[in-house]
Amino acid sequence: MDMTSEAPDFDHIFTNVLCLHHKFLTEAHKWFDRLRNTRRKIIAEGISAEARCCSLFAISGAGKSKVVRSYMNGPVIDYCLEVGLFPPSTPRNTVAQLQRKVIYVSVSGASTLTSLLEDLLRAFGDPRPQRGTNGAKMDRLLTYIREFGTELIIFDEMNHLKIGSSSATQAAEATRVHNTLKDFLLGGCPIVFTGTVEAKNKVFSDPQIRDRCVKQLFIGPLNSGKPDQYLDYSDFVGRLGLELKRLGIFPERSNFMDKRTVAALFEASGRYYGHTTNIVALACNFAYEQGSTTVDWSHLEMATDEYTMFNDLCDDNPFTRRRQAEELEARKARVSVDA
């Protein structure tokens, strides 16, 4: 490996370039498509009909953003090009910026109804999102949804909503936010809610929104007692090692398919795909700094020391524990032979 060249930006690679599908990411995309298919029927029939919603709530680092980002950068762009919304030669990043079929909204910190509406207006490209009363802002949003034929709205970081306070003022604000979200559903536009577990409590504190949720999507923690989940995880980390070579990051394949490695990563990641890729990204940095041609056990051990312990994903480092146990067994074997 040429260590004189600039080190790869592993954070960028793992966040924005590398995207390995797993069974729960694929399932989430299918549900997003299902909501959009229903929305297209509502538009085609020109009838007044309600839409439904899905949710994707999990701890930070679980991999929620990857699920959403890969959908926005993959199936959404593919659809826009396939149906002729843009010329075939249009760069994908241009389609991503200009399409309005699926709207992604990252909810602002300590979001109120006003800021929520303005966040959504910005996502539609409104030139003056602060203009007008909340009623006027909502009217513009409904016009955008109708004119663009918007099929899905994805609200991310719903934990930022100012919902849950016991004060009368905040309770009234929470009601207004919930009513507005219901208005989108009642108007026939489906929604995906994503965020932390705290967000789940905020969104579903309204029983009418909860009743309209057709699927609570799962992304972890995985259960090793469920063979299909552990098998999918094993396949995921195995392909992750192959991707490091395919992308030209390392000249040789990193063998993450070894059963001991899979088990250690499963534990070190807290049983989440997202944390797994974060550990491997950090291990890549250590491997590159050492001039290694692959990411091996020692690099994963160092990454786990730094990442897993900091994020309290498990009580100790499984890579260190397993290595020490193997060294002890080796010493016992040598003693037995000498005796």
| Tens-place pLDDT, residues 190-225 | 999 999 988 898 899 899 999 999 999 999 999 999
Residue 61: enclosing H or E segment and its boundaries? Answer: none
168 with 62, same domain? yes
The answer to whether residue 3 is domain-embedded is no
pLDDT one-digit tens code per residue, 216-263: 999 999 999 999 999 999 999 999 999 999 988 899 999 999 999 999
| Per-residue pLDDT, 285 | 94
Strand partners, 192: 54, 154
For residues 58-87, average pLDDT? 95
Sign of CA dihedral 228, 71, 252, 321: negative
31 with 156, same domain? yes
78 with 206, same domain? yes
The answer to whether residue 5 is domain-embedded is no
The answer to whether residue 282 is domain-embedded is yes
Structural domain including 148 reads: 16-217
Using the 3D structure, point to which of 169, 191, 217 is the last residue of a domain.
Answer: 217
d(CA 314, CA 216): 26
Q: What is the CA radius of gyration of the chain?
A: 24
Taking alpha carbons only, the member of 259, 256, 266 closest to residue 221 is: 266
pLDDT surpasses 90 at 303: yes
Q: At 329, is the pLDDT very low, low, confident or very high (cuts 50, 70, 90)? A: low
pLDDT surpasses 80 at 4: no
Residue 154: enclosing H or E segment and its boundaries? Answer: strand 152-156
207 with 281, same domain? no
For residues 11-37, average pLDDT? 93
38-42, 89-93, 149-153, 335-339: range with lowest mean pLDDT: 335-339
d(CA 241, CA 58): 25
d(CA 199, CA 197): 5
Using the 3D structure, point to which of 196, 217, 238 is the last residue of a domain.
Answer: 217
pLDDT surpasses 70 at 316: yes
d(CA 30, CA 61): 22
266 with 318, same domain? yes
Using the 3D structure, point to which of 217, 242, 263 is the last residue of a domain.
Answer: 217
For residues 269-275, average pLDDT? 96
The answer to whether residue 115 is domain-embedded is yes
| Per-residue pLDDT, 334 | 60
Q: At 331, is the pLDDT very low, low, confident or very high (cuts 50, 70, 90)? A: low
pLDDT, averaged across the chain = 90
The answer to whether residue 127 is domain-embedded is yes
d(CA 184, CA 117): 12
How many domains are there within the chain?
Answer: 2
50 with 183, same domain? yes
The answer to whether residue 11 is domain-embedded is no
For residues 148-159, average pLDDT? 94
| Per-residue pLDDT, 339 | 56
Residue with the bigger pLDDT between 321 and 25: it is 25
203 with 280, same domain? no
Q: What is the dihedral of CA 328, 334, 336, 338, to 10 degrees?
A: -150
For residues 315-328, average pLDDT? 78
| Per-residue pLDDT, 166 | 62
Kindly report the pTM of this predicted structure: 0.89
The answer to whether residue 112 is domain-embedded is yes
37 with 101, same domain? yes
178 with 259, same domain? no
| Per-residue pLDDT, 279 | 96
d(CA 12, CA 8): 9
133 with 92, same domain? yes
**For the domain that residue 67 is a member of, what is the CATH number?**
3.40.50.300
The answer to whether residue 331 is domain-embedded is no
| Per-residue pLDDT, 242 | 93
249 with 269, same domain? yes
| Per-residue pLDDT, 162 | 73
d(CA 16, CA 19): 8
For residues 62-87, average pLDDT? 96
pLDDT surpasses 90 at 290: yes
102 with 233, same domain? no
**For the domain that residue 241 is a member of, what is the CATH number?**
1.10.8
| Per-residue pLDDT, 276 | 96
| Per-residue pLDDT, 172 | 82
pLDDT surpasses 60 at 137: yes
